[in-house]
Structure 1
Amino acid sequence: MQFITFPPSTSQPPVGLIVTLHGWGANAEDVASLLPFFRLPEYQFIFPNAPYPYPYSAIGRAWYDLRTENMFEGLAESRQQLIDWLQSLEGSTGVPLSRTILSGFSQGGAMTLDVGLMLPLAGLVVMSGYLHPDVETTAKSTLPPTLIMHGTKDEVVPLQAAIKARDTIKSLGVATEYHEFDMGHEISPQMLEVLRNFVVNAIG
């Protein structure tokens, strides 16, 4: 899997690892541009590119197809690739999954919930995301704490999708933090501030 990585700016070994998944039609560079706003200099960041080309742009990527006629095509393959890749990161970074935060925006947020609920991660962060209809979970004791954030004026992924995701994972026993923001389908500085607090509480 192709990715961009940024080591801690402190020149020390990373306190933890933050992986952020882009949305449908975006790419790793898009989310990597947000790095200064995370304000987590002790952490290593990794921004992977989704495996599939985006049908409407030469530079966009997709985790799976969202066009009606091919809805969710490629999801199973992306899921397995992402799981295998995340499990390999400790070998290259020295950071275990127990100190890794998986985060994502929109389709990347959906992948975060899908894959993150199957791995012993430190936490999940879902920004303007949703829950796949066939999401699987493991034993309740291993489910990582999850932060869900969504814009009340989101015209792409309705707010109801965030509420449904929150209620579903809460029912599984997941420690869930939920925030709504007065905005559309976007990542705001306020979102990243909440994310920062969540990461510090989850890892230190």
Structure 2
Amino acid sequence: MSTPEEALPHPRPEEGVRHGRLTARPAATPVTAEPGTYSLDGQALLRVPTTSPGTPSRLAVVLHGAGGSAQQALGWLSRHPDAAGLVLLAPQSIASTWDMIVGGYGPDVTRLDAALKEAFARAVVDAEQVAVAGFSDGASYVLSLGVTNGDLFRTVLAFSPGFMAPMVHHGIPRFYITHGTGDRVLPIDSCSRRLVPRLREQGYQVTYHEFDGGHEVPPQILATAVRWWADG
């Protein structure tokens, strides 16, 4: 089996926002903000935890589902004890869901890139510990962004995704995917049970977990995912 870097195209200079590419990267000497939750130009929410000054933190970009909000996405992960030490960035989609799903990469990629640049300027972030997580439409988007930007997102956490549509491939992120066997919104047979083999065939490392339930993220599933990321 070939690895993703062997099987997939090399970076091209013309790749950009319309391909889903992000340019933001952790800053070399960022200024650490005071702990708290910040609104970034009304486009995203950033939660900075209490940490030792200068100690690099893990950062998770958290994406809401269709019709959701940045506040919901932030609360979804921040209320979990295992996420207490994480820097969390929750962007708000421009439309009711993410650009890739309603018309193609563009405005949400630009918004996320700007939010990431500000987050990296406000917090000391470990470049090896940047993850992207999402539920439902947000999970479809994180699979796509993860494959596209695996040189930034080393870990992808997808909860009940529907599909993925990367245009380009960079890096070799690892994936944690979960799905409820009774999901009637995004049925497991046509979604994760198709996506997981596809990713594995392309050479990606995928940890996959099915659970008894519907279109949801049970607390124990979330806890397992966050611990898996931390232990990795």
TM-score by length of 2: 0.71
* Residues 7/102 of structure 1: CA separation in 2 closer, same or farther (3 Å cut): same
**Partner SS for 1:102:** strand
**Partner SS for 1:98:** strand
Higher alpha-carbon deviation: 88-97 or 109-118:
88-97
Alpha-carbon offset, residue 80 of structure 1: 3.3
1:109 equivalent in alignment to 2:142: no
Is contact 1:14-1:44 (8 Å) kept? no
Is contact 2:154-2:172 (8 Å) kept? no
Paired letter, 2:172: L
* Residues 49/116 of structure 1: CA separation in 2 closer, same or farther (3 Å cut): same
Match of 1:51 among 94, 97, 107: 94
Alpha-carbon offset, residue 11 of structure 1: 5.5
Alpha-carbon offset, residue 41 of structure 1: 2.1
RMSD: 2.3
TM-score by length of 1: 0.80
* Cross-structure match for 1:58: none
The count of corresponding residues between Structure 1 and Structure 2 is 185
Choose 1 or 2 for highest CA Rg.
2
Alpha-carbon offset, residue 179 of structure 1: 0.3
* Cross-structure match for 1:20: 62
1:74 equivalent in alignment to 2:103: yes
Q: 1: distance between equivalents of 2:124 and 2:217?
A: 29
* Cross-structure match for 1:3: 44
Task: Give percent identity, aligned residues only.
Answer: 24
1:167 equivalent in alignment to 2:167: no
Residues 14-163 of structure 1 mapped to structure 2, 5 A cutoff: 14-34=56-76, 35-52=78-95, 54=96, 62-64=97-99, 72-78=101-107, 80-81=109-110, 84-85=113-114, 88=117, 89-95=119-125, 97-119=127-149, 120=151, 121-132=153-164, 134-138=165-169, 142-160=171-189, 161-163=191-193
Gaps of 5+ in 1: 55-61, 66-71
* Residues 149/87 of structure 1: CA separation in 2 closer, same or farther (3 Å cut): same
* Cross-structure match for 1:68: none
* Residues 25/194 of structure 1: CA separation in 2 closer, same or farther (3 Å cut): same
Q: 1: distance between equivalents of 2:155 and 2:83?
A: 15
Is contact 1:103-1:125 (8 Å) kept? yes
* Residues 117/156 of structure 1: CA separation in 2 closer, same or farther (3 Å cut): same
Which has a greater percent of helix?
A: 1
Q: 2: distance between equivalents of 1:180 and 1:186?
A: 12
Residues 158-197 of structure 1 mapped to structure 2, 5 A cutoff: 158-160=187-189, 161-197=191-227
